[in-house]
Amino acid sequence: MANNEEEKKNNHNDENTETPHVENSENTENQLEEKIKEMENELKKKENEIFDLKMENIKLKERLRQESDIYERELKRLVLKEKINIFKEFLEVLDNIERALESLNGDSEHSKGLMLIKDQLFKFLSSYGIKEMDLINKPYDPNIADIGEVVETKDYPQGTVVKVLRKGYYIGDNVLRTAVVAVSKEPSENKNENSSNNSNN
């Protein structure tokens, strides 16, 4: 009988010790699951932060590229503007030399000296991409020339450049200095009638 009572006590103790072990195991499993979920959420959060940083980096690079392009364009524009101002002064000198040559005898020593200076100056300007506009016998273009004179004539179609009063020049593909030209116009009918009447009289 004593042995039976002892066995019952032992069995009862075993049951009491097993129950807390199971509960602890379940608690540990739940804690691990919660921890894993927290870590997963944290990982997603970090991934989103990394993605946002990458997008910011891309936007920043694009903004820097655009600002760099704007800066380069503005710099080129300013450099071209300064070049144009300087080269226009050279063109004024060239104009003066050409006017002086027109008034001199082409065989004189002074004329030959001026011609040499003119050639050297034009060679210098050409090395920077400066070239004279070819306008004679071509339709008038207001983008590259101003009208300084209108010539009534039947020898050319209306609006044709018949004479260059001041030479125009390009620098590369840009206009360095607009030309001043004489442009043809068809004779007015009144003038024709008056001239015919005068001839009849």
Taking only the tens place, the pLDDT of each residue in 118-154 is 999 999 999 999 999 999 999 999 999 999 999 999 9
What kind and span of H or E run contains 151?
strand 145-152
Strand ranges across the sheet with 161-166: 145-152, 179-185, 161-166
**185, 151 Cβ separation under 8 angstroms:** yes
Determine the pLDDT at residue 96: 92
The pLDDT confidence band at residue 194, using thresholds 50, 70 and 90, is: low
Token pair listed for 51? 């993605």
Q: Which residue in this structure is represented by tokens 């004779």? A: 187
**Paired sense of beta strands 130-132 and 169-171, if any:** antiparallel
Provide the H-helix boundaries in 104-181: 109-126
Average pLDDT score, the chain: 83
Q: Does the pLDDT at position 191 exceed 80?
A: no
CATH architecture label of 132-201: Roll (2.30)
Q: Does the pLDDT at position 198 exceed 90?
A: no
Q: Angle, nearest 10°, between helix axes 2-103 and 109-126?
A: 170
**Paired sense of beta strands 161-166 and 179-185, if any:** antiparallel
